[in-house]
Amino acid sequence: MKNIAQKKLSCIITDADKEESRNISHLKNIARFDNLDTNETRTIYEMISKKKTKLVEAVYKTAHPRTKGDLFYHLSDGRWKSRNPDFYANSREELVEKLYEYFFVHTFEEVYLEWVDMRIRHGVKSNKTIQEDLSLLKNVFKNEPIAEMQISDIKKRDIKYMFERWTGPGLITRKAFVNRKSALNGVFTFAAENEYITVNFIPSIVTTELKFKEPNHQNKAFKKDERQKLLKYLRTLKQDGYTLAIQLALYSTFRIGELRAIRYEDLSGNTLTIRHQLVEESEYSVNTKYLKVEKAVRHINEKLPKGNAHYSVREITLVPDAVEILNLAKEINPDGEYLFMCHGRPINNDTFNERLRKYCNEAGVPYLSSHKLRFTVASIMRSSGVDIAFLQKNLGHSNRRMTEHYIYEDVENPKDMEEQLGLILGVL
């Protein structure tokens, strides 16, 4: 049975009408984003105008079934007028446009998907960012009242109340909040640029009074004894691409993607040059006509390391144990394109973490994900007195602040702390 929505008074909009409106939006996207010549663009906009007129007249007529002749009033001063709903315009075409906006202005969800579609078409963001955008829509915004609201009807107070619900007494971290607000800002900027709304008010919303959850600094890295215990256990296993890769990660500050892309020729003596990363990506496309996201099969891409290539392409000095791991990987996999492979394929992130979880459980240490191994090595190096500038270079960071984020210092009070404080703070 058809779901029928009523738009003020008695103008009735059916599912078929909504479908035709999406067809019109799809044509607008083609005209905006596809590489068309002037004549092709003109033809599409003429088609859009005809479709809009036909659709508006059909919807308007549901409230005025007895009208004969022209549905709209041509006033003596030259203007055109509609009745129930009441609109005035300088031309019939302008009146049709106003009524179309009244009946079919896009919902937040529709505009969100148009925004994502634009980012995919222009190639301005990585597939990982697109995936994060779509995840926010699915897991956050679709659960909010604004999802089904016309974007032009959303007020600043609606967003402010949503912010307050999100954060409450400290329900999410500042980072999670910033990610959500950033997506909102992108959507509303896109809506303003396409004249769905007059202005993007997201940046003007005050958030200083919001309370955020403190980041969890516990279990940010393995402690020294946990790392040692895990390494000792890994050495007892039959070695393959995953066991060796996990061991190397416990001796280095590589990103998992960088570790996967290591070739034996990248090693010279005890110096390893990080040149690339392997990234598993899916190509996304957004069907704005049917409000669907289409996802292609994942494939592996070799890219420059993450971040600023001036810093992330770098040379790292390895300890002898790490060099031994690389040599053993070469013995096990002498003809592989990459050093760490299993069954003829490069190791992948998901299996790496599954194996890591299994080995942590068997070794009797808490499980931490692959990225936390990077935290672990950086933290141990720092606690042993390694200069932070050296760590920044090893981690491939362009700024010191990011490096400091990776350092987890497990502070323990020395037994003679009371005596030390007395000497430091006591009055002589």
CA distance 47 to 27: 9
CA distance 27 to 263: 48
Can you tell me whether residue 82 is helix, strand or coil?
strand
**Cβ atoms of residues 114 and 265 within 8 Å:** no
pLDDT profile of the chain (428 residues), mean per 10 = 45 85 81 79 92 94 88 94 90 92 83 88 76 91 91 92 96 94 96 86 95 75 92 96 96 93 95 92 64 68 86 93 96 95 92 96 94 90 89 90 76 57 60
| pLDDT given for residue 419 in this prediction | 67
CA distance 111 to 13: 19
Amino acid letter, 12: I
Global pTM exceeds 0.85:
no
Can you tell me whether residue 273 is helix, strand or coil?
strand
Can you tell me whether residue 405 is helix, strand or coil?
helix
Angle formed by the axes of helices 15-33 and 38-61, to 10°?
160
Measured at the CA of 367, the angle between CA 361 and CA 373, to 5 degrees, comes to 125
Q: By C-alpha distance, which of 273, 277, 241, 234 is closest to 259?
A: 277
Neighbour count for residue 74 (Cβ, 10 Å):
12
| pLDDT given for residue 426 in this prediction | 58
**Cβ atoms of residues 275 and 268 within 8 Å:** no
| pLDDT given for residue 15 in this prediction | 81
Can you tell me whether residue 267 is helix, strand or coil?
strand
| pLDDT given for residue 33 in this prediction | 65
**Cβ atoms of residues 57 and 11 within 8 Å:** no
**Cβ atoms of residues 270 and 318 within 8 Å:** yes
- 9-14 LR contacts (CB < 8 Å, sep 24+): 9/63, 9/84, 9/85, 10/62, 10/63, 10/84, 11/59, 11/60, 11/62, 11/63, 11/84, 11/85, 11/103, 12/59, 12/62, 12/63, 13/59, 13/103, 13/104
**Cβ atoms of residues 41 and 50 within 8 Å:** no
**Cβ atoms of residues 406 and 220 within 8 Å:** no
Q: By C-alpha distance, which of 2, 294, 357, 239 is closest to 120?
A: 294
| pLDDT given for residue 195 in this prediction | 74
Domains and CATH numbers, the chain: 5-104 (no CATH), 108-204 (1.10.150), 224-405 (1.10.443.10)
| pLDDT given for residue 340 in this prediction | 96
